[in-house]
């Protein structure tokens, strides 16, 4: 195959999105629409990717900062042909050019490869037989079934509007021929725009073959023009991901109620209940069970661990044979070893917890190192922030922390120590000893509880 140059058209404002955000930056499966198209382009290993931007061009560029992309700008929206003209100077004469659309996120590399295979010495168009072709450009064929033109809906005759084969806007051709055709485009049409589709007639005029590869997946060629389109594409993406997980052996309580906004790696015998959201890169080990309505982002969960419902795990590592939740929150920097129990309404942040430790109720453990076989009672808080800086708490092996305890960091609780319930600990607690910090208990005789005043 010749060297490949890919042009992605992403200049449209998307007025039907009713948003100040460029259309291609709205998200499907947690990523901008354009991200999906760029990923498809990269999978084809092109020599160049040229993205044509217009409305909100700076924000689009900033979103993909660091990518190996050439940016071209279409300052005025004068049609698809005019958009490709903005990329013309970057195209190499000896290359094949593939035109992709920045608002078609489900386009597949496989479909593109089939199209490119037909485009070495001719113009190849990706078409589709659509039941209701209203609004789409029609593929015009001659008596020999060869493609002779693409007619836009507004310019089509009544007979042409009955044609079901439509143009998807995705096409491929030799770059040198494309440059020649771009110079011959005219805006003599109902829209007064320069249509890229007019290059078909120019190719026929030059006696260069025109062929159409008919796509077999309508969603893979469907563009997004409204929030309704966006929602429909999102559901299609998620349904297909769910089907892939099922084929991999994952048990899904309801394939229609799972959202993967990144990559989900799963081992054998994983079970996922309804309403779960997976973001970024998530890995689930063998026999992991995820309860209903959990949100898990950029996390690793090892074998035989149960994440109970309504838990939130972000940028954390959860070891084997753990039990987390319900209603637990593991924040970035948290790492749990094996056999750890994290219970309801427990929050951990930048906390490393060693094996067989339990933090079962209503506690906040932040910026902490917690040893083996530690029991932390309900209502315990590590007071890690002094208003300006964070400080660390160290809890050594076999410590018992009584309920409603405040540990004022920086502080160390020695091995085997016991902290009495209701204590505020601001100094190191010695190993193996009971440490208690409480005010003297006082009973005030004769005190009366306030009563509610009657409203006049």
Catalytic site positions: 361
Q: Greatest CA span in the chain, whole angstroms?
A: 108
d(CA 78, CA 71): 18
SS3 content of the chain, % helix, strand, coil (to 5): 20, 35, 45
DSSP string over 78-121: --HHHHHHTTGGG--TTSEEEEEETT-TT--HHHHHHHHHT-SS
DSSP state letter for 195: -
Q: What are the C-alpha distances in Å from 197 to residues 87, 220, 301?
A: 16, 20, 51
- The answer to whether residues 105 and 221 touch, using CB atoms and an 8 Å cutoff, is no
SS3 (DSSP) at 276? strand
SS3 (DSSP) at 183? helix
Relative to beta strand 271-272, strand 251-252 is: parallel
Say which residues have a Cβ less than 8 Å from residue 398's Cβ, sequence separation at least 6. 371, 372, 373, 374, 415, 416
Burial of 78 (0-12, 13-18, 19+ CB in 10 A): middle
SS (H, E, C) 394-405: EECCCCEECCCC
Among 426, 338, 336, residue whose Cα is nearest residue 381:
426
| Sign (positive or negative) of CA dihedral 321, 323, 324, 330 | negative
Beta strands in 110-246 (DSSP E): 123-129, 138-141, 147-151, 165-174, 210-214
d(CA 333, CA 349): 6
- The answer to whether residues 380 and 365 touch, using CB atoms and an 8 Å cutoff, is yes
Q: Which helix (DSSP H) or strand (DSSP E) does residue 175 occupy?
A: helix 175-183
């Amino acid at each position: 195959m010749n060297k490949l140059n890919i042009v992605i058209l992403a200049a449209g404002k998307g007025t039907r999105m009713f948003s100040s955000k460029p259309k291609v930056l709205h998200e499907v499966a947690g990523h901008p629409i354009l991200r999906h198209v760029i990923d498809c382009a990269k999978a084809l290993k092109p020599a160049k990717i040229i993205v044509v931007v217009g409305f909100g061009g700076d924000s689009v560029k900033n979103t993909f900062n660091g990518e190996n992309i050439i940016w071209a700008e279409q300052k005025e929206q004068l049609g698809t042909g005019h958009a490709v003209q903005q990329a013309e100077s970057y195209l190499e004469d000896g290359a094949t050019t593939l035109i992709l659309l920045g608002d078609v996120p489900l386009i597949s590399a496989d479909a593109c490869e089939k199209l490119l295979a037909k485009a070495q010495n001719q113009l190849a168009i990706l078409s589709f037989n659509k039941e209701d072709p209203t609004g789409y450009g029609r593929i015009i064929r001659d008596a020999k079934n060869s493609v002779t033109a693409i007619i836009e809906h507004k310019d089509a005759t009544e007979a042409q509007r009955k044609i079901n084969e439509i143009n998807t806007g995705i096409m491929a051709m030799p770059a040198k021929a494309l440059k020649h055709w771009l110079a011959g485009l005219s805006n003599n049409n109902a829209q007064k725009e320069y249509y890229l589709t007019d290059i078909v007639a120019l190719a026929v005029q030059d006696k260069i073959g025109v062929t159409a590869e008919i796509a077999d997946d309508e969603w893979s060629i469907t563009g997004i023009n409204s929030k309704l389109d966006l929602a429909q594409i999102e559901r299609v993406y998620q349904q297909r991901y769910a089907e892939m997980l099922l084929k991999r052996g994952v048990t899904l309580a309801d394939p229609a109620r799972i959202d993967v906004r990144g990559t989900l790696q799963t081992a054998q015998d994983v079970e996922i209940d309804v309403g779960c959201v997976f973001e970024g890169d998530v890995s689930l080990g063998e026999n992991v069970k995820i309860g209903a309505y959990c949100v898990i982002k950029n996390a690793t969960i090892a074998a035989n661990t149960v994440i109970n419902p309504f838990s939130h795990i972000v940028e954390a590592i959860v070891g084997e044979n753990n039990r987390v939740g319900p209603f637990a929150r593991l924040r970035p920097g948290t790492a749990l070893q094996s056999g750890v129990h994290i219970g309801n309404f427990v929050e951990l942040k930048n906390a490393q917890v060693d094996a067989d430790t339990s933090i079962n109720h209503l506690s906040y453990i932040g910026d902490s190192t917690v040893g083996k076989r530690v029991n932390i009672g309900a209502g315990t808080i590590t007071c890690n922030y002094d208003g300006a800086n964070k400080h660390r708490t160290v809890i050594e092996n076999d410590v018992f922390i009584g309920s409603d305890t405040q540990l004022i960091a920086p502080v160390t609780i020695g091995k085997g120590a016991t902290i009495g319930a209701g204590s505020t600990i601001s100094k190191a607690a010695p190993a193996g000893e009971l440490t208690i910090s409480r005010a003297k208990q006082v009973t005030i005789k004769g005190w009366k509880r306030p009563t509610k005043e009657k409203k006049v």
